[in-house]
Amino acid sequence: MRIVHQFLKLVFIAALAVQAGCSDPPKSNNTAAALPGIDALVSAQWLKEHLGDSDLVVLDATVIVESDAEGNFRPVNGRANYEAGHIPTAGFADLTGELSNVESPFQFGMPSPEEFAAAMGALGVGDDSRVVLYDDMGSSWAARVWWMLRWIGFDRAALLDGGLDAWTTAGGELSTEPVLRNARTLTVNLRPELIADQEEVRASIDSDAVNLIDALPEIHYQGEWTMYDQPGHIPGAVNVPVTSLFDETGHFRQVEQLSKLFIGDREARTVTYCGGGIAAAADAFVLTRLGFTDVAIYAASLEEWAANPDNPMEVDLENIE
């Protein structure tokens, strides 16, 4: 039942759901070059061995998915789950609050770079930190925070492979103690090209130079079911559902398997989308790990796109089994 429940959570997340300084790579300095790095994906065993490192900041980015009597889903703050048990030393990163623009018409509107950097700084993330992100909902929420950190020019962040389940399966203990770190300064070296907007996506429809990837479930991509104002997918998009990125244990599939999901020119512009820019971030995370060099997420995704009747959508009902 746990695996089935996890799969259903991933499906909902899907339904919601390279370098800095403008377009140029960030200029390094001797201090930054001397800082220890971190792989983009770390294991529970690695985290157990490094949990006490003074520069390591662990953050729980869980968002809880609830449904009402009519079957309508809604994301809510995951702090209750965090307080019930989290990885020791982990703080709570709130994507329903300070890590998003709560004034946006979209559920997870992008904050300004400065607001996001300040929010991460308040969680104890500084320029010399290493960050491990996890969630209890399939890693897409953590991937969204990881992508936003890259967006402001911070590369020393990783996802915990398998999330909280992997930690407990590996024998990791949970804590109910709240974690508050001293605020730090996190510098913005913005990479605006990591976030696509509606205009870029509209222009990409007739462009062979752009790969457009839909991270929603196949049933949504084909148009049999939708949570948005129009069914189907953006014309020209190929479907790589977020659930296809993970094995039955919730870990990311091996690189060789993931490479078969994402084909095409790895230097071409590649834009991922979903419902609200959450599942799209997991696809973008994998694309980056595979060596795609010009990846962006359409953060507003179908929440914005499908609400505009002038934006085209395609359905593929004849291929539904």
Residues 162, 134: Cα–Cα separation, whole Å: 8
Given a cut of 50, is residue 307 above it in pLDDT? yes
Asked whether residue 229 is assigned to any structural domain, the reply reads yes
Q: Is residue 2 part of a domain?
A: no
Looking at the structure, do residues 229 and 274 belong to the same domain, yes or no?
A: yes
**Looking at residue 72, what is its pLDDT?**
72
Residue 7 lies in a domain: no
Residue 22 among the catalytic residues: no
Question: Across the strands, what pairs with 269?
Answer: 210
**Domain check: are 32 and 177 in the same one?**
yes
Could you say which of 170, 190, 210 is where a domain stops? Answer: 190
More confident residue, 281 or 13: 281
Q: Give this prediction's pTM.
A: 0.89
Q: Which of 274, 279, 286, 287 is catalytic?
A: 274
**C-beta of residue 239 within 8 angstroms of C-beta of residue 221:** yes
Confirm if 173 and 186 have CB atoms less than 8 A apart: no
**For the residues 313-319, what does the mean pLDDT come to?**
82
Residues linked to residue 233 through DSSP beta bridges, in sequence order:
314
- 207 pLDDT exceeds 60? yes
Task: Work out the number of other CB atoms within 10 angstroms of the CB of residue 236.
Answer: 17
Does one domain contain both 36 and 133?
A: yes
Q: Is 52 exposed, middle or buried (0-12, 13-18, 19+ CB in 10 A)?
A: exposed
Last residue of a domain, one of 155, 173, 190: 190
- The yes-or-no verdict on residue 308 having pLDDT over 60 is yes
Confidence of residue 24 (pLDDT cuts 50, 70, 90): very low
- Report residue 300's pLDDT band, with 50, 70 and 90 as the boundaries: very high
**Mean of the pLDDT values across residues 222-226?**
92
Please state the rounded mean pLDDT for residues 239-251.
97
Residue 1, in any domain of the structure = no
211, 153: one domain: no
pLDDT tens-place string over residues 263-277: 989 999 999 999 999
**What average pLDDT does range 252-259 have in this prediction?**
97
Residue 107, pLDDT > 80, answer: yes
The model's pLDDT over 147-167, given as tens digits with 9 standing for 90+, comes to 999 999 999 999 999 999 999
Residue type, 204: S
Q: What is the mean pLDDT of residues 101-127?
A: 97
**CATH assignment of the domain containing 282:** 3.40.250.10
Distances (CA, A) of 134 to 10, 114, 125, 146: 14, 23, 15, 10
Q: Domain check: are 146 and 236 in the same one?
A: no
Which domain, by its residues, includes 205? 194-319
Q: Tally the domains of the chain.
A: 2
Cα 195 to Cα 190: distance, rounded to the nearest angstrom: 11
Least confident of 2-11, 69-78, 81-90, 237-246: 2-11
Look at residue 15 and tell me whether its pLDDT is greater than 70: no
Portion of the chain with pLDDT greater than 90, in percent:
79
